[in-house]
Structure 1
Amino acid sequence: MDILIGAEIFFSLLSVGQIKLNAELITLQKTQLGWIVSGKCKAKPNITRAICDLAVANAEDFVMEDENVDKTLQKFWEIEEVKGCESKCTPEHMNCENHFKENFKILPSGRFEVKLPFKKDPSALGSTFEIAQKRFLSLERRLQKTPEAYDMYKDFMNEYITLGHMSPIENIDFNMPHYFIPHQCVLRPDAATTKLRVVFDASC
């Protein structure tokens, strides 16, 4: 074995050019890395053990015997394996995973949507409308002094609406659990692309 290549890049390496030596034998395929060989191979009767050549990071070739190859491959699969949470996770982690399984959906755009998990009753958030409103009015007064920044801020918010990240709400029931997120802007005049970035202060 010289190299392991994932399927996501394998086909991009293939080039035009293939030679079939024989239906019973091997096929030569031209690639971006040179020619590769694949196909059937008849083992010789006097071979008593398998040998695997590995290419490592420092490019030094070495030969590993069967037992070491088995251990190396086993370790590789153990590292790459995605194990379930049941055996090691805390009850809190399990609750979070179950919440995701029960409350996620795939949107027509292909994105995932999931309800926010709460460790405590959402009513513990308290009243956040007054804080968010106070910060918003202060921000608006500040932005009105710099029309260019004000326009960029409005463009950002309109883009959020267009992308479906947020939507207008009406008839708010303040007796139900709710949360208003204060936000502010960060100006970066030297940035090549995004000169204004909106920061949401969810920790408030």
Structure 2
Amino acid sequence: MATRRRLRASLRAMANPTALLETSLGNITVELYLDKMPITAGNFLKLAKSGFYDGLHFHRVINGFMLQFGCPHSRDPKSPRAGTGDSPDGTIRDEHPADAKFSNEPGTLSMANTGAPNSGSCQFFVNTVHNGYLDWFSPGPSKHPVFGRVTSGMDVVHAIEKTPTDRNDRPVTPVQMKKVTVQEG
């Protein structure tokens, strides 16, 4: 037990990792809340380090709401299955720590899920407005834990947000995630 406490204290002392998201419309840098959201941020980090996100496309973009990304089927930006896939490791456990009540504010990264408990996997979204009703600690059925935030590149986030979309909220001109590079804190 003492070893776990020392490990947690050591993790808290280190800076959170960041990731550079290189998109076809520009770069976005994000901080990942590994100190407070180890399951969700750790899942993103593992997938990013493996190259899972490289070459995928944003499959759902809603102006005045959010940008969604991370489905393995979105490698083909026209795939009808885009938005339905999980990571090779499957789903992760919901993470709702009492000391990490981060709201779905503009520029935050939040875990996408099906609405069912423990259904988050590889897909996440970037909030472009305050979507407090999506907070895991707010009333209602939708529970999406925030696990990071944009530290630079909100202009790129807004450029993606303004991309014309079809009736399924898919960008008409595909927006690709060229590469995600993790920088440890």
Shorter-normalised TM range: under 0.3
TM-score if structure 1 supplies the norm length?
0.19
Between the two structures, name the one with larger relative contact order (CA 8 Å, sep ≥ 6): 2
Greater percentage in helix = 1
User: Radius of gyration: which is bigger?
Assistant: 1
TM-score if structure 2 supplies the norm length?
0.20
